[in-house]
Structure 1
Amino acid sequence: MRVIKSNALLSIANSYICDSPQPINISYAWNFGSLLALCLGTQILTGVILAMHYTPNIDLAFISVEHYIRYP
């Protein structure tokens, strides 16, 4: 038996990604919508990460930006 079918988490991910129903004629609009969803997910993720490191103090704001640059 394949690992994807035996593991519960991989089976759920496979059912959402690979086995999801798609139209017979996948058009450019379908691909564009998928790309927009990927961009939205990336923006939400990076926005949450940046919001966790927000510093309202002017003196500490430069230090926090310098920290981002030095320690990736």
Structure 2
Amino acid sequence: IQILTGLFLAMHYTSDTATAFSSVTHICRDVNYGWIIRYMHANGASMFFICLFLHVGRGLYYGSYMFPETWNIGIILLFAVMATAFMGYVLPWGQ
């Protein structure tokens, strides 16, 4: 769902700092069902991170950290996903 909604949002989004906020307003107001596509994308990302954190919690509960190679690869993947989300969401809105 993230890829599909992300593609639809990218069709109308402009990354220029002068027009980024107005393009989001355009998506929510002028695009048919643009508001629901935006909320599905945001809520899908939140649900994805909840699932990631539950997965880490399950690994802690069952003692998966006793397998250091597997655990370290998983933590590296978690940090990579968090860094990607930061680069794609937090940094563009901070400009």
TM category (shorter chain) comes to 0.3 to 0.5
Higher helix share: 2
Give the TM-score normalised by the residue count of structure 1: 0.42
Name the larger-Rg structure: 1
Give the TM-score normalised by the residue count of structure 2: 0.34
Larger RCO: 1 or 2 (CA < 8 Å, sep 6+): 2
